[in-house]
Structure 1
Amino acid sequence: MNNRIGRSWKAAGRLWCALFILFLAAGTRSAAQVLPAPRLLSPPDSSINQPTSLTFAWRAVLGATSYELQISDTPLFTTLVYHDSLIFGQSTDVSGLHRSTTYYWRVRAQNIVDQSAWSDTWIVTTLPAPPPSPVPSSPPDGATVPTSVTLAWGASSGATSYRVQLSASPVFSTLVVDDSTVTATSRPVQGLANNFDYYWRVNASNAGGTSAWSASMGFTTTAAPPPAPTLTSPPNGAADQPLTVTLSWSSIPGAPSYRLQVSAGPGFATLVLDDSTLTATSRAVGPLANGAIYYWRVSAKNAGGRGAWSSAWYFATVAGTPAPPVLSSPLNGTANQPATLTLAW
């Protein structure tokens, strides 16, 4: 009898223990079912130009023992590029993401009994790939250009800015121009030295990095325009010059041609002669008018352009031979004239 009573008490005890365990389990499951979804921290939602190695972080959830992270390149998470279902902590490092790609990520909390709902989905876009090297276009390699020139190149795909370097050294040891603020595909350069060799190159940049330098291009600037010639003959202010006169001036080294202007006025508003084809240092001018004043000047030209005018000189031509008088009195052939006559013309 006592044994039966004892066994009954033992059975009742086991029953109560089982009920207690079930109660605890039910309470634990109830707690798990109300795990809130985690709140995402970083990288920020809709962030751009992020590196391809990132730390994804979220706030801790009370009661959670681990977290699950999903990363996808589709907003519905139909394909996963990263999935970790057992993260012990509130962040994890992810590497190997692709450049210029938009990713979607979410997290949920979990414990031994249940999981929370997914967090909000945040978006992150990685850095673009660096742009390719630009291709220089103008001036072409080996060109001869003026001392003011525009450097130009083809657009580099994805580039947001360019850096232009100009140097007198083919290895760019010293720089005449080093401009990294260019956003167009050309850069004007002024004030270069005459008759000088220059080298230039360009690279392209965006948020993802900087390209390699383009091929180096070289050009030579033109020679400086020649100085003004010195007038030599006839002397300034010369008088009684013939109606065809030879004008002469000094030779300018390196100047293959000259321009001569002759005018009847000191301002050269109207021209008697304007000859820019001269290769010698003299020119015969005529026929000119008798008793007139003429002004003349000369400039020289080379590959660098036309130089300044010389000072203006003037000369006067010889006066004209007067016409013969016309006799008027006494009339030709008249007779019986007095011994004292007045001759008139």
Structure 2
Amino acid sequence: MKKFSLIAIAFMIVVQLGCGKDPTGISTGTIKGKISDAATNGAIAGVVISTSPASSSVTTGDDGYYQIDEIKAGAYTVLAAKSGYASATANVTVDAGKITNANLALVVVTAVPSVPVLVTPHDTVSSVVLCPTFNWNPSSAAASYCIQIAKDSTFTILAAGQAGLYINCFASPSLAESTTYYWRVNASNSIGTSAWSAVWRFATGSSATGNTKPNQPTTPIGPATGFRSQSYEFDFTCSDPDGDPLYFRADWSDGTPMIWTNDYYGWSTYALPHTFKALGTFPIRVQAMDIYGDTSLWSAQTSITIINANPSFSNYYVYPSDGSTCYYSPINFDWDCTDPDIPYDTLSYDMYLDTLNPPVKLQVSNLSSSQYTLSTITNAKTYYWKIVAKDRFGGVANSSIWSFYKTTK
């Protein structure tokens, strides 16, 4: 009997280990990151970090960092909120036993938020499911939203709604069958509240009404490398089993709000453009949503690496021009230099002026302008000069060497 019991116990242990999805027993992960000021890049303390679906809520320390432990594996929206700033979100996927990074930059609010733009359920659609998800595009400078759902266009008979929403969507409780509803949204921050959005209406179906989610978009295809301030397109294909018009949004992984595009109907190939403002490697994925508010799975990720572009000179306009003669003092030096990354980068200049060729004497450094005035200079000599342009990220360019002869009439 004892022998049988030991065998049975051993068998039970093997079965339990074999049936478990993770023999290590780990089913949770961690989200961590830093919250910074979008303008200064400085750390922000006291930012409340939460997730949707809900998990733990934490607050950033003096260094701007936070960490949420023991989060069940799955997809989450990370929300950062603090009075005086517009809230910001990031979509992440938590893997068991791993750390997921979610850094966010907050913008100081200086005005009332813009009026929200509604997305789904689309205006005038019918046969909407009884528990729809309402979606609208994020408003600039918004800290929170308020949604109202009513049975009349004057919103005196409210059926559902919520204030203090930190994300731009709302999962409605069950609505009545075969009923027309109206909905609207406004946005608030520490300065004030926007006007209400446009009012849209829709009609519910019956309890048997269903809707099929859009198919998962294909992996976006686009350039592997690029520069700031230039727009790049990423192509993908997608379809809807019901033939519904579709909206799309992209997660660019650079802190840009995820905006739903206008609805497309009858297409199969799509392209979303984007301009990156920072250096680094950015994962990119896209998601589809039909006019009833049902969303697809996110596509698989691609990525783009944004690299620094070096400054470049033009010889079209230079003064004194090469080989010229200067008769008067002071001499106003002028040159033409550009950087493809402007306005996301700035240039400074070092000027070399010498009677030697090439010039080795540094005349002036770290000029912020492409002009320089030299008050006095010895006559009856030939001078050689050049400019070294530098950007903030290590990019350097050397101009041609130009010469001029200084004399008097």
Q: TM-score, normalised by structure 2?
A: 0.32
Q: Which has the larger radius of gyration?
A: 1
Higher helix share: 1
Larger strand share, 1 or 2: 2
TM-score by length of 1: 0.37
